[in-house]
């Protein structure tokens, strides 16, 4: 009888906690999902809300209450419009490809674009659903990376790596920077556990890695926990305190101000590169407006998406001290072995074009606001037998590197 009563009490307590969390989630969603002017049902199940640009979540931030939206940067260098979103399998780093299938020239798009467009003076926002938030460890942590997710090339603590489970294969440059650019091919890596992810991105960094790191990030990712599926999605991220309390993915918190009505942060992108087949890539450029200090982002062929206001940051109000390009995965080692979550294509970098993932035409914005290749570039990987990186340089692709890996294999138990 005592056991029965105890079990009933436990069930009641769990039910009340779950009900309490559901109420908290509903309140959170009412603040997060702003009233749309129009909604679009994407083929992948997403709902894209067209929200008036002045009502976006960014302006919930206390530093941005009286912020005047900038529709374009004050400083508009000519080099920000020379990017393209295109198929790259017809040309490898050494010239015309003979080992990979020729591809039709095309454009990477987001799936929701095939159904409709958001009107002018609105921005597309991926609607957050109740089940999205319920998958998170807490409402407070929804849309945030775990602590200590950065790659710290100069002083890696093996115990810390084992604790947080984040692993990287990156190239990086150190100095004084005012932006960065790269073209990366897009894949759909396999994820071992729903609470693991795989991404490829650019990091723009300054500050102490342990406590007050400022970071601006953009790229593509596969994250079942965050999105509820295994689609490859465009994403952005920012933090001003080493991922502790500030910042989030996409538009899930106040901060990034979007100005573009064509691209939805966190929405699926298509088509995807194929092993031994067509390679599709995207170009991302992030640069600092020297007049107002805001950090702007451009995606593909002249599509300026918006900006991170300078007031969000401490160190990045001046400049960045490190740029990183490459991949990151989470290894939970849930079954006592290394995860089989893939980074990039899931192939090692020595496999080369058509098999491995790449970043090409890597560039930085220097103190004279010129776009150029970095003078010195280094590489870093916690476990090269699981995920690795190799740099190269030539005339066709400029400074570039291959990276990726399968995770668990005979040399990565």
Q: Indicate which residues carry an active-site annotation.
A: 217, 328
Give 49-104 as a 3 state SS string: EEEEHHHCHHHHCHHHCCCCCCCCCCCCCHHHHCCCCEECCCEECCEECCCCCCCC
Return d(Cα 306, Cα 54) in angstroms, integer: 13
Radius of gyration of the chain (CA): 21
The DSSP-derived string for 196-224 is --EEEEEEEEES-TTTT-EEEEEEEEE-H
Length of the chain (residues): 413
Task: Check: CB of residue 300 under 8 Å from CB of residue 294.
Answer: no
Candidates 213, 218, 212; CA nearest to 179 is: 218
Counting runs of H as helices and runs of E as strands, what totals does the chain give? 4, 23
The contacts of residue 20 (CB under 8 Å, 6+ apart) are none
């Amino acid at each position: 009888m005592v056991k029965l009563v105890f079990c009933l009490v436990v069930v009641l307590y769990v039910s009340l906690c779950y009900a309490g969390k559901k109420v908290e989630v509903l309140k959170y969603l009412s603040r997060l999902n702003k009233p749309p002017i129009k909604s679009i049902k994407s083929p992948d199940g997403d709902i894209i809300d067209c929200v008036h640009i002045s009502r976006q979540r960014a302006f919930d931030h206390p530093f941005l209450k009286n912020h005047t939206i900038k529709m374009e940067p004050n400083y508009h260098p000519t080099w920000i419009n020379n990017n393209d979103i295109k198929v790259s399998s017809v040309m490898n780093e050494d010239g015309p490809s003979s080992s990979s299938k020729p591809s039709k020239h095309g454009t990477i798009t987001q799936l929701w674009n095939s159904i409709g467009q958001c009107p002018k003076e609105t921005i597309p926002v991926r609607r957050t659903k109740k089940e999205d938030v319920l998958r998170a460890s807490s409402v407070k942590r929804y849309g945030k990376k775990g602590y200590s997710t950065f790659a710290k090339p100069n002083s890696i603590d093996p115990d810390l790596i084992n604790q947080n489970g984040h692993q990287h294969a990156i190239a990086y440059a150190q100095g004084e920077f005012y932006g960065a650019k790269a073209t990366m091919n897009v894949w759909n890596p396999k994820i071992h556990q729903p609470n693991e992810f795989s991404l490829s991105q650019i990091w723009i960094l300054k500050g102490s890695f342990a406590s007050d790191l400022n970071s601006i990030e953009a790229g593509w990712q596969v994250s079942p926990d965050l999105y509820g599926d295994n689609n490859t999605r465009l994403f952005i991220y920012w933090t001003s305190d080493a991922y502790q309390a500030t910042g989030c993915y996409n538009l899930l918190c106040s901060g990034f101000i979007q100005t573009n009505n064509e691209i939805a942060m966190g929405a699926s992108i298509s088509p995807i590169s194929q092993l031994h087949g067509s390679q599709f890539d995207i170009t991302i450029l992030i640069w600092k407006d020297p007049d107002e200090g805001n950090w702007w982002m451009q995606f593909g062929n002249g599509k300026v998406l918006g900006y991170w206001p300078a007031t969000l940051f401490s160190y990045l109000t001046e400049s960045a001290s490190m740029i990183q390009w490459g991949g990151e995965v989470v290894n939970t080692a849930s079954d006592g072995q290394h995860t089989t979550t893939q980074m990039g294509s899931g192939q090692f970098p020595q496999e080369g074009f058509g098999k491995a993932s790449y970043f090409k035409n890597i560039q930085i914005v220097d103190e004279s606001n010129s776009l150029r290749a970095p003078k010195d570039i280094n590489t870093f990987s916690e476990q090269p037998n699981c995920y690795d990186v190799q740099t190269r340089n030539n005339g066709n692709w400029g400074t570039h590197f291959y990276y990726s890996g399968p995770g668990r294999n005979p040399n990565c138990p």
